[in-house]
Amino acid sequence: MIELKDVSVRVTVDGRDEPKTLLRGVDLELPERRIGVIGANGSGKSTLLRLLNGLVLPSEGTVRVNGAGTADHGRQVRCQVGFVFTDPLSQLVMPTGREDVELSLRRSVKNAAERARRAEAVLDRFGLLHLADQSIYELSGGERQLLALAVVLAVDPAVLVLDEPSTLLDLRNKELLRRTVAALPQQVVMSTHDLELALDMDRVLVVDNAGVVFDGGPAAAVAHYRALCAASFEDAP
């Protein structure tokens, strides 16, 4: 269970007297298997997602994953919650996929031979074994995104958080991502601008102006977001 209780996030911005509010007054319990987060750029989506594994800490309130608070037990939470960034190159740090997966396993698998065997098994599971020794810069956007997923899932987290994972993907790779995510046993929390992906979720949050303004079924959430977008055009000068 992921729980957020009265969570707000504020940051100090150079040149401003008052801190900027990135998220305000969020109360959520998230037990569903597939949770989507939609909203405009700058609305607070990424801040909400980064709260879930302690990449961002609340200025007020608490975030807990299976009872462990992100502020007090950050390492424990990060072992349970894997995070995949929008751009996979921001988290693929080794020259090849094989090395990246082995690096991910280094803390949990001490024996080098076993670590190599496990890494091959992970790469094979995601259909990436034939690309294991290629430079990550030679891979396509979809292959990199799948590799980033493999690296995070190698340590078997309970929760997978995906921050706009389809942004850099073409239609074929977006469908590959969609099928891969659907088959995962982990709980998935995913922000996306792709409303078709949002419709696959069990529950969808709409984030706007630093708050959760709608929380419900996917079809109703997408309709609410579309109405918000339409209203913004009507209010424009």
Residues 6+ apart with CB under 8 A from 38: 45, 191, 192, 193, 195, 198, 204, 205, 206, 207, 221, 222, 225
Residue 237: per-residue pLDDT: 60
Phi and psi of 19, rounded to 5°? -65, 155
Query: pTM for this one?
Result: 0.91
Residue 93: per-residue pLDDT: 92
Structural domain contains residue 104: no
How many angstroms separate the Cα of 54 from the Cα of each of 49, 51, 71, 83, 160? 9, 5, 7, 10, 13
Q: Count of domains in the chain?
A: 1
Cα 180 to Cα 34: distance, rounded to the nearest angstrom? 13
Structural domain contains residue 107: no
Cα 128 to Cα 98: distance, rounded to the nearest angstrom? 9
Please report where in the chains the tokens 């980033």 appear, as a residue.
148
Q: Which of 96, 164, 49 is nearest to 177 (CA)?
A: 164
**Amino acid code (one letter) for 8:** S
Structural domain contains residue 22: yes
Burial 161-184 (b: 16+ CB within 10 A, else e): bbbbbbebbeeebbebbbebbeee
Structural domain contains residue 121: no
CA dihedral 22, 28, 34, 40 (to 10 degrees): -30
Residue 150: per-residue pLDDT: 92
Structural domain contains residue 120: no
Structural domain contains residue 97: no
Residue 70: per-residue pLDDT: 95
Q: Kind of pairing, strands 34-38 and 187-191? A: parallel
Structural domain contains residue 153: no
Query: CATH no. for residue 201?
Result: 3.40.50.300
Output the tens digit of pLDDT for each of the chain's 237 residues. Answer: 899 999 999 998 877 778 889 999 999 999 999 999 999 999 999 999 999 999 999 999 999 999 999 999 999 999 999 999 989 998 999 999 999 999 999 988 999 999 999 999 999 988 899 999 999 999 988 889 889 999 999 999 999 999 999 888 888 888 888 888 899 999 999 999 999 999 999 999 999 999 999 999 999 999 999 999 988 777 656
Residue 236: per-residue pLDDT: 58
Cα 187 to Cα 2: distance, rounded to the nearest angstrom? 10
> What is the domain extent for residue 179?
2-87+159-235
Order of all β-strands in the sheet with 68-69: 20-30, 2-11, 60-65, 68-69
Residue 167: per-residue pLDDT: 85
* N residues, the chain: 237
Structure tokens at 174: 């977006």
CB 98 within 8 A of CB 133: yes
Structural domain contains residue 206: yes
